[in-house]
Amino acid sequence: MSSQDSEAIWKAYGDVIFTLDGDEGAKDASGNTITLDQTKIDEARATIDAEYAALEYSRNRASEYPSIEDQLDDIYHNGIDAWKATIKTTKDKYPKP
């Protein structure tokens, strides 16, 4: 099990309180060793990866939008319609799936 699986483990076993104890594996809140099902972890990792990929458009938009200060300045000097046109360019470039 790799350290990259930790997010998937927490997702797969969200109802269990446990710690990862190096080479000794996982332990529950009482210190008892528990067995983790790699298939369950892999399924959780696939879900996490799909959720991340589904929001790519949002991350792309956020990186291209003007700063809040610049947006407010645009509204002040050019009005709401000009601001909407600026924002729409980015929204059109990265549409929601």
What is the C-alpha separation between 92 and 89, in angstroms, rounded? 5
Q: Model's pTM, two decimal places? A: 0.59
pLDDT at 56: 95
Rg over CA atoms, the chain: 22
Residues 45 and 71 in one domain: no
Residues 43 and 62 in one domain: no
pLDDT at 50: 93
Residues 94 and 62 in one domain: yes
pLDDT at 21: 57
> Domain residues for 74?
55-97
Number of domains in the chain: 2
Task: Kindly list the averaged pLDDT for each block of 10 residues, start to end, along the chain of length 97.
Answer: 67 67 66 79 90 94 96 97 97 94
Residues 39 and 72 in one domain: no
What is the C-alpha separation between 77 and 83, in angstroms, rounded? 10
Residues 60 and 95 in one domain: yes
Residues 50 and 80 in one domain: no
pLDDT at 23: 57
pLDDT at 89: 96
Residues 8 and 40 in one domain: yes
Residues 35 and 68 in one domain: no
Nearest to 71 by CA among 58, 59, 85: 85
Residues 3 and 49 in one domain: yes
Residues 7 and 48 in one domain: yes
**Do the Cβ atoms of 2 and 36 come closer than 8 Å?**
no
